[in-house]
Amino acid sequence: MEEKAYWIWLSKIDGFGSRRIKKLLDYFGDAEGIWHADKELFDNVSGIGPSLSQKIIESRKNFDFKSELKRLNKFGIKVVTLQDKCYPKLLKEIYDPPPILYYKGNITKINKPCIAVVGSRKCTQYGKKIATKLSQRLAEKGLNIVSGLAYGIDTAAHQGALKSGVTYAILGSGVDVIYPKENEGLAQKIMKQGAVISSFPLTTKPIGKNFPLRNRIISGLCLGTIVVEATKKSGSLITANLALNQGREVFAIPGDITKKQSVGTNQLIQVGAKLVQKLDDVLDELHLSNVNNEDIKSDLEYKADKKVIESLSQQQQKVYRLLTVESQQFEHLLDAVELNSAQLNSLLLELEVKGLIRQLAGKKFKLRDDVKL
């Protein structure tokens, strides 16, 4: 975890967006390399002049590694960086992906097919009903539901997904600053089945300029974005435009032409967004009609004899539940548990001895696929 502190330091330097950080990473290799670099070397990096070089040097004096790591541990928050194997694959493909993500919960399933469900904060009962049911049905089909934890459609989308699957909430604040506060209970539920995620450092307040950056992550994580309701100047339209720019699909639910919440979605349909009237309109467009088939459903969990499972310790059960019939890297599993390498190694060995899992080449692990459901 200590090496992640260098990334946290880098992300907190005032005036350094992800593009500049990417340039520094390309030149120095990693965040620790940037920390140890001499000031003169920064002049060789395009877009990093003397004033920014000085900012880097000054920021080293004020950064406290111990307090940063202590704060992460206090809130149970983890960090994944652009150089980690468990960094979301689709998000890495967008232009200018965030170098660091903070999260609380579990992201082991984040590379399954994801779809965003977004919309108006001041939604109608019709919009709320559609967002809830649609998200529940999509989650039943094995898709992750991604939204922004806002009032209205976002809240309905998360609630629907929680009934049958996994959902991820992307914040425009630090992970330790849940916004709106009224959704703190919902956030806790999301953390049990998915995760609350942010690209912003801890203690970051939910100010206006953060939300377009938040929306870029929502669309970037997903194969497509479904806009349920949106006014003419809705932030959901920003998410839709970002999705188009990222080469992703955009869907819209048609609405009552007398309602202001339908203006944005109906306009999206006019300019080419896919009109959604039934679940298959989404699944067929994304070629996910068979998403629950065993050959592509990445979280199909085979259960062994109940007595064996019940005999597992609490820690063994936690690790067992992380594993699927698809192999996962040791580092990926380590990132999902509050254990050190030695502890996780020991638990994995115990599960292997019990005949529940297999270790493959390259330190990968998977559930035994020959035990019966």
pTM for the model: 0.75
Per the DSSP assignment, residues forming a β-bridge with 104 are 196
- Domains of the chain, first to last: 2-75 (1.10.150.20), 104-285 (3.40.50.450), 306-367 (1.10.10.10)
**pLDDT tens readout for residues 178-226:** 999 999 999 999 999 999 999 999 999 999 999 999 999 999 999 999 9
Amino acid at 354: K
Residue 175 has pLDDT above 90, yes or no: yes
Closest CA to 309 of 341, 357, 349, 344: 357
| The token pair that represents 100 in the structure block | 């660091």
Report the phi/psi class of residue 105: left, alpha or beta, with left for phi > 0 and alpha for psi in -120 to 50.
left
Query: Three-state DSSP class for 102?
Result: strand
**Rounded CA gap, 193 and 365, in Å?**
21
CA distance 92 to 341: 26
| Digit-coded pLDDT (tens) for 244-271 | 999 999 999 998 888 999 999 999 999 9
Residues of the chain with pLDDT > 70, as a percent, come to 93
pLDDT reported for residue 302: 37
Beta-carbon contacts of 305 under 8 Å, excluding residues fewer than 6 positions away, are: none
Cα 265 from Cα 273, distance rounded (Å):
9
